[in-house]
Structure formats: structure tokens, C-alpha cells
A and B are shown apart, each in its own frame.
Chain A
């Protein structure tokens, strides 16, 4: 039944140690998104893929990278996590670009020690 799956659900990493978060989808949607949500704040879009085309938001730090090896999977890489990167990371998909409903995964809670 699960449509957007995120692994792991909880991730603890050390300051400066690279970490990768995973998202997969069974919807065969063209667009995949990564949002960052810090405690008690609104989710903020980091980047999205339309198929294999990568689109970075202007204010997304260079420390954040993403890969989409195929339609089903998308990864978020944080090269050198800082304490300020502790957050909930939400993956979402939509069938197409422009006015389509977005479907969210359960999120990955990242803790940086």
C-alpha cells in the first residue's frame, strides 16, 4: 500500500560525517521533491527532479546534494552535516509539474551529534 517510502525513519549522524537519506515511490510519478522541516517551522523545498532534470532552489546550501538513479528512487546526500541540519526531511512526489497534487512520505528525522 505504501506509495512514498523513506528510509531510514530515524537517522543519527556525527557532525561532519556524510549521510544519505533514501526515498522510493511506487506511483511512477515524474517529479520527486525533497523538503526540509526544522522544529516548529514550515517545510521548505530544497530541490526537485523532473524525471532526470535536477532543479536546485536558490537558497539550498551547497552541502546538500541529490541523486535520482531511476524513476523510483531519489537520494538526499548531506556532505558535511552541521548541527543546524538537524531536521525532518520529507520526500514527496507528483505525477507531473504544474498544479499536480503532491504525495508525501513519512519523513526521516535526522539528528546531528
Chain B
């Protein structure tokens, strides 16, 4: 059974700092790895999806990498802004289309 872990559970940084969020998974037989953003009390917004054959994906200030062999993914946020404050969830897709989520990293960017 796939297990997904995210470290740290919470992170507080000053505005402008570059930061890295970590995601690890136990079963490397994944279709893809997806990063989501969740604002308090809201649904999930997809940020980046990395297919199993890819090493990384970029969108604006976000860069996600995938290392299947070690069971790790990272989300890099450049020049963080207060508007980036949210919970970031990673999810691996295995066994058909099932998404297994981590419990998220709660990010606070202080002005």
C-alpha cells in the first residue's frame, strides 16, 4: 500500500525567501506525482503534475522534481510571497487512478 509523507508539516519563512517542500513515497511504481495547493476551507488547486518518465516540471516560480528510484519529490518555490501562504499537498498516482495524498505542508510567508 502506497504511503506518502511530507516534511515539514509546517514552515514559516520571511517574504522573498526561496524554499523547498519535500514529499516521499514508498511505492516507486507510480504513474505520476501531483502537487496541489489548498487554501483554508477550500478545495484543491493543481499546481504541477510530473509524469513518471519526467524529472521535473516548472510553472512560473514553482519547480517540482521527481526521483522515482529514491521515492522523492520536491517542490521549489522561488522568491516566496505572502500570497503563497497555503497548505501544499503532494499526491502519487498508482494502481489505476488512485491518488494517495500526503498530509501536507502548511506554509506561512511573512511580509
Which residues of A pack against B, CB within 8 Å?
Answer: 6, 31, 33, 35, 40-45, 48, 88, 90, 92, 94, 97-107, 109
In the assembled complex, which residues on chain B have CB atoms less than 8 Å from the CB atom of A6? 43
Interface residues of B in 28-54 (CB under 8 A from A): 31-32, 34, 36, 41-46, 49, 51-52
Query: Contact between A94 and B97 (Cβ–Cβ < 8 Å)?
Result: yes
**A4 closest partner in B (C-beta):** B43
Closest beta carbon of chain A to B64's beta carbon, Å: 14
Q: Give the CA-CA distance A105 to B41 in the complex, in Å.
A: 13
Interface residues of B in 82-111 (CB under 8 A from A): 89, 91, 93, 96-104
**A91 closest partner in B (C-beta):** B43
**B97 closest partner in A (C-beta):** A97
Select which of B31, B51, B101 is within 8 A of A42 by beta carbon: B101
Query: Contact between A99 and B43 (Cβ–Cβ < 8 Å)?
Result: no
In the assembled complex, which residues on chain A have CB atoms less than 8 Å from the CB atom of B32? 99, 101
Query: Contact between A99 and B97 (Cβ–Cβ < 8 Å)?
Result: yes
Query: Contact between B4 and A42 (Cβ–Cβ < 8 Å)?
Result: yes
| A-B residue pairs, 8 tightest by C-beta | A99-B31, A107-B43, A42-B101, A106-B43, A104-B44, A42-B103, A43-B101, A97-B97
Query: Contact between A104 and B43 (Cβ–Cβ < 8 Å)?
Result: yes
In the assembled complex, which residues on chain A have CB atoms less than 8 Å from the CB atom of B52? 99
Q: Give the CA-CA distance A107 to B102 in the complex, in Å.
A: 18
Q: Give the CA-CA distance A42 to B105 in the complex, in Å.
A: 11
Select which of B31, B49, B97 is within 8 A of A48 by beta carbon: B97
Q: Give the CA-CA distance A67 to B64 in the complex, in Å.
A: 36
Query: Contact between A97 and B43 (Cβ–Cβ < 8 Å)?
Result: no
Q: Give the CA-CA distance A97 to B94 in the complex, in Å.
A: 11
Q: Give the CA-CA distance A105 to B34 in the complex, in Å.
A: 16
In the assembled complex, which residues on chain A have CB atoms less than 8 Å from the CB atom of B46? 101-104
Query: Contact between A105 and B103 (Cβ–Cβ < 8 Å)?
Result: no
In the assembled complex, which residues on chain B have CB atoms less than 8 Å from the CB atom of A106? 42-43
Closest beta carbon of chain A to B75's beta carbon, Å: 16
Query: Contact between A98 and B31 (Cβ–Cβ < 8 Å)?
Result: yes
